[in-house]
Amino acid sequence: MSDTDTAPGRIALRLPRERELRLWAGVVLFAFVTTHLLNHALGIFGVGVLEAVQAWRIWVWQSPVGTGLLYGAFLVHALLALKRLTTRRISRMPLEDLVQIALGLAIPYFLIGHVLGTRITAYYGYSESYTEVLARIWQGDQFKQILLLLCAWTHGCIGIGQTLRSRKFYPRWRDLLILSTGMLPTLALAGFFAAGREIAAIGYTPAPLKVNDTIALLALGQRLLLGFAGLLALVALVMFLRVLLRLRSGSITIRYVGHGTFKIPRGTTVLEASRANGIPHPAQCGGRGRCSTCRVAITSDPSALSSPHIAERAMLERISAPGNVRLACQLRPDHDLSVQILLPIVPTGMRGRSGDDLYRWGAEREITALFVDIRAFNSMTRLQVPYDIVLLMNRFVQEMTQAAEAHGGRVDAFAADGLIAIFGLDDDKGQGAYNAVRAAQDMLKSVEELNTEFGAALAMPLRVGIGIHSGNAIIARVGDTQRGMRLVALGETVTIAGRLEAATKDHLTDCLISEEAVQRSGLTLRRQNGKNLHIVGRDKPIALYTLDEAAVPAE
């Protein structure tokens, strides 16, 4: 969803700034919560450790700069989040967004009591030490503190996850991040209970609050709660008035190619219309304009639509979208139009089956591609009986696949006489290139063994060509739900690997490695000046090296 409405023909310059400001304010708050939980987790080792580490945390967050940054971030994030909430339609909102909004609204309720028991009591002259505060909490406020911890952490994780999931580095760190999101609050709760029990065991009693101070704190707490309730009522009123305004502004007709025609209130985004009418429509970033998965093609006249604002325009330029393609989460039509959803949505049953789900919309990764192909395969098929050739091909594919997977590779695609393997999806860039070279060595050894095994049955010796190249590629799941999905690499890197394999015939060698792959693998070269391969469309030729010229250590 757009952060606010954009009038036709006008570019709202403040929209990306508001969104980024809200994001960075949330990052500051998430950093504070993270340090707080890390401090709690150390309670496993005793209250003394908590007190020692808290001194460092107080030095950071209770300094003039830290306090201003923290309170400013809270105010900015809360106000901009409430402002954005007034522009959203709750109907058919994704569950993830509903949970995040509900948790965000619950945080201030639990936070008021926590602030009164820590910072405000310190203002009245009471100790703010971990021992003192924890003793007061342990007397009957544990449940609210646990809920505050879980609400704040989960709310932050959802927001950070929605921001990172479309980033290039996210697939590599996804598992570690997911593990951290579960481990840190668990350890924090364990430290909280361990320290609380230690304080209870030694019989520590917190300093009692004076009667006047207690009355003042209760009155302040009530005023804060009433103020928060009033703010929520104001937000609800604005949302209600916006609904009335939409209803009074009339409706328009939107036709979805393949889904039918629907009437929607004027000013509704196309993505909101899809959700309201139960039309499957992907939106990986949750409708924040940070990805292009919700894009649609305008099949009616696109010239009458309002111009895209800066954030949408930047994304459309990034994907080189034609003039009739817009982001559904940012487009608020004010007249009838027809659209076609360009990307399919993955069925619920297909999600989360494996790490491949990270690539369901495609992700650009730096990989190493290995292309292996049988030489003179057509001649072999003419000379061999069908049974022999099928038996040989099954063994060949089995051996090549095993060699690739043994070194961390993934078989991308099979051809009649070869296959493509991808390296570097789960490892660092250099390790993927090095593993590809090692896999090529094992593949050539396997070919020798196959020649020994099938020697009497082969009309000619089995020979292969292997090409290895490193570079950027688009990794995506391709296929359909009935016949299965396969992880494939798309782009120039794979094409060049195929060209290197074809060039092995001209250079009378079994394997050619590009200079890019050699550099990333960290291997040394016995000869610095490689042969060159000129490829149409590239300004610079590809420098080639044979497997013998790359000094590969034996294992």
Task: Show the CA angle centred on residue 234, arms to residues 229 and 238, nearest 5°.
Answer: 150
- Mark which of 277, 307, 341 sits at the end of a domain: 341
pLDDT of residue 484: 60
CA distance 291 to 293: 6
Average pLDDT on 63-81 reads 90
For residues 382 and 503, state if they share a domain: yes
Count of CB atoms within 10 A of residue 88's CB?
18
Q: Does position 5 have pLDDT exceeding 50, yes or no? A: no
pLDDT of residue 165: 73
Task: Show the CA angle centred on residue 57, arms to residues 51 and 61, nearest 5°.
Answer: 140
For residues 506 and 474, state if they share a domain: yes
For residues 117 and 244, state if they share a domain: yes
Residue 116, domain member (yes or no): yes
Q: Which of 337, 338, 296 is nearest to 319 (CA)?
A: 296
For residues 167 and 220, state if they share a domain: yes
Q: Which residues pair with 337 in a beta bridge?
A: 254
Dig out the tokens for 388 from the structure: 């022999």
The percentage of the chain sitting over the pLDDT mark of 90, rounded to a whole number, equals 11
CA distance 451 to 390: 15
For residues 285 and 206, state if they share a domain: no
For residues 237 and 275, state if they share a domain: no
For the four alpha carbons of 36, 42, 44 and 48, in that order, the dihedral sign comes to: negative
For residues 226 and 151, state if they share a domain: yes
Q: Which of 274, 412, 402 is nearest to 341 (CA)?
A: 274
Average pLDDT on 494-498 reads 90
Q: Does position 554 have pLDDT exceeding 70, yes or no? A: no
With both helix axes pointing from N to C terminus, report the angle between 95-115 and 142-164 in degrees, rounded to the nearest 10.
140
pLDDT of residue 7: 37
C-beta of residue 371 within 8 angstroms of C-beta of residue 423: no
Q: Does position 352 have pLDDT exceeding 70, yes or no? A: no
Write the pLDDT tens digit of every residue in 363-420. Answer: 778 889 999 998 877 777 676 667 666 777 788 888 888 888 878 888 877 766 788 8
Write the pLDDT tens digit of every residue in 228-250. Answer: 899 989 988 988 887 787 777 77
Dig out the tokens for 331 from the structure: 């487009």
The structural domain count of the chain equals: 3
Q: Which residue has the tokens 């039918």?
A: 260
Q: Which domain holds residue 311?
A: 251-341
Average pLDDT over the chain reads 79
Residue 358's pLDDT band (cuts 50, 70, 90):
low
Among 22-26, 115-119, 425-429, 546-550, the range with the most confident prediction by mean pLDDT is 22-26
CA distance 133 to 117: 7
Dig out the tokens for 56 from the structure: 């460092």
Write the pLDDT tens digit of every residue in 319-340. Answer: 778 888 898 888 888 888 888 8
Write the pLDDT tens digit of every residue in 436-492. Answer: 998 898 889 888 888 887 766 666 788 899 999 998 888 877 766 666 667 778 888
Name the H helices within 355-491: 377-383, 386-406, 429-454
C-beta of residue 550 within 8 angstroms of C-beta of residue 513: yes
Residue 9, domain member (yes or no): no
Burial (0-12, 13-18, 19+ Cβ within 10 Å), 464: buried
For residues 208 and 265, state if they share a domain: no
Report DSSP state, residue 120: I
The CATH code of the domain that includes 323 is 3.10.20.30
Residue 2, domain member (yes or no): no
Q: Does position 99 have pLDDT exceeding 80, yes or no? A: yes
Q: Does position 502 have pLDDT exceeding 50, yes or no? A: yes
Q: Which residues pair with 327 in a beta bridge?
A: 295
Count of CB atoms within 10 A of residue 479's CB?
12
For residues 178 and 284, state if they share a domain: no
- Mark which of 311, 341, 371 sits at the end of a domain: 341
Residue 3, domain member (yes or no): no
Tell me if residue 525 falls in helix, strand or coil.
strand
The CATH code of the domain that includes 172 is 1.20.1300.10
Write the pLDDT tens digit of every residue in 156-211. Answer: 998 888 778 767 677 778 888 888 888 999 998 998 888 888 888 887 777 777 88
